[in-house]
A and B are shown apart, each in its own frame.
Chain A
Amino acid sequence: MTQTTYAGLLDLAAGAFLLTAVLIVWRRELRAIVRLLAWQGMALAAIPLVEGIYQGDRAIVTVGVIVLVLKALVLPILLGRVVGTEDQERRESTPLVNTTASLLITAGLTVMAYAVTRPIIALDPTEATRAVPAAFAVILIAVFVMVSRRRALSQAVGFLMLDNGIAATGFLITAGVPLIVELGASLDALFAVLVLGVLTGRMRRAFGDTDLDQLRELRD
């Protein structure tokens, strides 16, 4: 792999990664959102795979394969099973922020990501580090999704996007954290999603649906 191909592929992966986040903001159909999350997982896994192949480092390729299985297959399938079967349960309820405004906010957050990541690029201006604003933008967009969506499942998707954004940052700036930390963090994410899935099921049984506006009994 030449230097140009490497840089091109890396930018492609980072771009696709950010694009899926924007599409998640745009779509309201829960199944479509989960599918987009799987695509995002693939774009995420592409980063360590490209890096590992370019540097000829088997360990990084292995991590990439693990990420691919977990983020593009296991987690989306787990979330997909939680999508309700009733019509009103399959869509995001009336949004707090409408689609146009959401997309504008997303654009604003992306610009902000470029500003925030300047010190990181200044410290180590390589091809990979230059793509880090895309990862930071996904982190910011994920937080926005978590505060603006009202379905339990959308919040879980937001959490996974946040997790993906942080993982991408790690791969881009350091070729990944040490394996023991990477494995531990992946395991935690897996368990967190399992917990959120079980809770969503319990919520459907207790409240009849999974609208988070129901959660207003506890207050001072």
Chain B
Amino acid sequence: MNILLMVPILAPLVAALLAALLGWRRLTASVTVLAALSVLVSASAIGLRIGSGAQFGVWRVLRADALSITMLIVIGTVGTLATWASVGYINAELAQGHTNRKGANLYGVLVPVFLSAMALAVLANNIGVMWVAIEATTVATAFLVGHRRTRPALEATWKYVVICSVGIALAFLGTVLLYFASLHAGASSETALDFDVLLHYAPQLDPAVTRLAAGLLLLGYGAKAGLVPFHTWLADAHSQSPAPVSALMSGVLLSVAFSALLRMKSIIDLALGTGFMRTGLLIAGLLTVLIAASLLVVQTDFKRMLAYSSMENMGLVAVAAAAGTELAIAALLLHVLAHGIGKALVFLAAGQLQAAHDSTAIGDVTGVLARSRLIGTSFAVGLVILLGLPPFAMFASELSISRAMAGAHLEWALGLALLLMVVAFAALVRNGARMLLGSPDPGSPAIVVPRSVGGALVTGVILSLALGLAAGPFPLLFHNAATALGAPR
């Protein structure tokens, strides 16, 4: 069992090591895909064994519960799609001269390191180790954002590293303060940062110090999750990254950071009551949705448009977390999974559009459905998922979030969020229709779809449909995760 818990962390590291030794080639790229797939498979295996309980590993440094399993499934699914698409994407970049051998080799090493850091972040029992893993994702993705080495890519990388490092440093200060409070509540110094120990001592934590820690943790992990006020890096970094990395950052990294915040919330709620984090999450979430919706309206760049759509969804997830009931947590986890796959679809399709036009301006792209059935369809399906329309799962998750918010007497926040989401909906529909429908401009370049990108896109569409039509074991898993976080009914 110990070993099974190590698989999601070690498998990608082995792939990274292989890529470091052999460079970017078919073999190393395939091993990376297998490593991502093994995250998914091992997560399912651990999930089947633990049910609603928790399992420790490596001297209690690691701990898997239903929330870890949920997040590992998101990492594994989107990771598999993104690494699979990377094969064709990077080969095309090499052929077009956008990157060189060295750049491709670095990409081959950093992507699996990134996956491994995220797996560690969701499996860590010690919240200090969790913090180290989340900061490690910033370091691992820095050169992925700057992969193309253009001036805008450099600018995006600088902003990303500086803003996220400062944000996450604040979260570390919060962690140190929580450690201090935990020691004074009677925990021993070796275990005072363990999640299970903190939960146990949470009611005895000093409220004044915990309040200070809570504010810092919300700001810090909020920065990594794309929440106001440290959100300014997001659109730049997500739009400059290579498409598969954008998919991973938008679809997975934001929600991994948010899952850290969920864990912190479950401790803080026990110490301070639910009011403090609820207010903080409502303010941050609603402001994030507001900013994302207003910038979506004026957007002229399709990758930035997708980035702001991610911000909008993270804002909604934060608002759902503020409600904090079992239904709300379960709904937001479904939202995170469905959004992850949907975002992977649109970003991977957008990557091929960018490659064909050598531009990310919405105005440059016309009649995609008529020009490439595969790219057009997957971009359209991805947009429909993000719009929250049936038959896809975000329809169900948004409905459940609304029900949960009404149940938690947050109708006003729900009303405000829905209003802003309608604005975002209209902007996405307008821009999406402009790119997809109609007849293509004469002289539009051909859209080439490498085989691996095509495979990832088709799989993503099938997975989204399956998740929308049959919930399978997920409702049970999500409810177990909500219970593990101590969410009230």
Contacts and interface: CB of A to CB of B under 8 A. Distances in A.
Do A and B actually bind?
Answer: yes
A114 to B, nearest CB: 14
Nearest to B142: A195
B180 A173 contact: yes
A207 B155 CA distance: 10
Interface string B155-167: 1111101100110
A159 B165 CA distance: 8
Interface string A131-148: 000000001000100100
A129 to B, nearest CB: 9
Contacts of B190: 178
A124 B180 contact: yes
Interface in A110-165: 116, 119-120, 122-124, 139, 143, 146, 152, 155, 159, 162-163
A192 B165 contact: yes
Contacts of B142: 195, 199
Interface string A193-220: 0011011001100110000101111101
11 contacts: A119-B208, A120-B209, A123-B209, A139-B173, A169-B176, A188-B135, A188-B139, A191-B139, A206-B154, A214-B155, A220-B235
A84 interface: no
B326 interface: no
Given A188-B135, A212-B158, A218-B239, 15 more contacts: A119-B208, A123-B209, A124-B184, A139-B173, A143-B166, A155-B162, A178-B193, A180-B128, A185-B128, A185-B135, A199-B142, A202-B149, A206-B151, A218-B156, A220-B298
Contacts of B179: 170, 174, 177
Contact of A119 (B126, B138, B149, B209): B209
Contacts of A217: 151-152, 155
A12 to B, nearest CB: 23
- The interface residues of chain B, by DSSP majority, are classed as helix
Contacts of B211: 119
Nearest to A184: B132
B129 A184 contact: yes
B132 A188 contact: yes
A166 B154 contact: no
A181 interface: yes
B128 A192 contact: no
Contacts of A139: 173
A68 B357 CA distance: 52
Contacts of A155: 162
B41 interface: no
B136 A146 contact: no
Contacts of A119: 206, 208-209, 211-212
B181 interface: yes
A218 B236 contact: yes
A98 to B, nearest CB: 23
Interface of B: 61, 126, 128-129, 131-132, 135-136, 138-139, 142-143, 146, 149, 151-152, 154-159, 161-162, 165-166, 169, 172-173, 175-177, 179-181, 183-184, 189-190, 192-193, 206, 208-209, 211-212, 235-236, 239-240, 295, 298-299, 304
Given A146-B162, A174-B176, A220 B189 contact: no
Contacts of A170: 176, 179
B218 to A, nearest CB: 16
Contact of A178 (B159, B189, B304): B189
Given A174-B183, A199-B154, A202-B154, A185 B149 contact: no
Contact of A220 (B126, B157, B193, B304): B304
A188 B299 contact: no
Given A188-B132, A202-B154, A217-B155, A177 B176 contact: yes
Nearest to A171: B176
A215 B169 contact: no
A163 B170 CA distance: 9
A79 B289 CA distance: 39
Given A174-B183, A215-B159, A199 B146 contact: yes
Given A178-B189, A180-B128, A217-B151, A195 B184 contact: no
Contacts of B299: 220
Contacts of B154: 199, 202-203, 206
Q: 10 closest pairs, A vs B, by CB?
A: A181-B128, A184-B132, A119-B208, A215-B155, A191-B139, A188-B135, A170-B176, A218-B236, A173-B180, A195-B142
B110 to A, nearest CB: 11
Contacts of B212: 116, 119-120
B78 to A, nearest CB: 24
Contacts of A207: 151
Nearest to B294: A220
A162 B169 contact: yes
Contacts of B175: 177
A188 B175 CA distance: 16
A163 B423 CA distance: 40
A192 B139 CA distance: 6
Among A155, A212, A216, A218, the most chain B Cβ lie within 10 Å of the Cβ of: A218
Given A169-B173, A185-B132, A122 B162 contact: no
Among B166, B176, B192, the most chain A Cβ lie within 10 Å of the Cβ of: B176
Given A170-B176, A217-B155, A218-B152, A177 B128 contact: yes
Nearest to B176: A170
Contacts of A173: 176-177, 180
Contacts of A169: 173, 176-177
Contacts of A163: 169
Nearest to A179: B190
A214 B177 CA distance: 38
B359 to A, nearest CB: 15
A192 B208 contact: no
Nearest to A190: B139
Contacts of B135: 185, 188, 192
Nearest to B291: A220
Contact of A123 (B161, B172, B184, B295): B184
B301 to A, nearest CB: 9
Contacts of B208: 119, 122-123
A146 B166 contact: yes
A163 B192 CA distance: 22
Given A166-B176, A218-B155, A220-B299, A159 B162 contact: yes
A146 B152 CA distance: 21
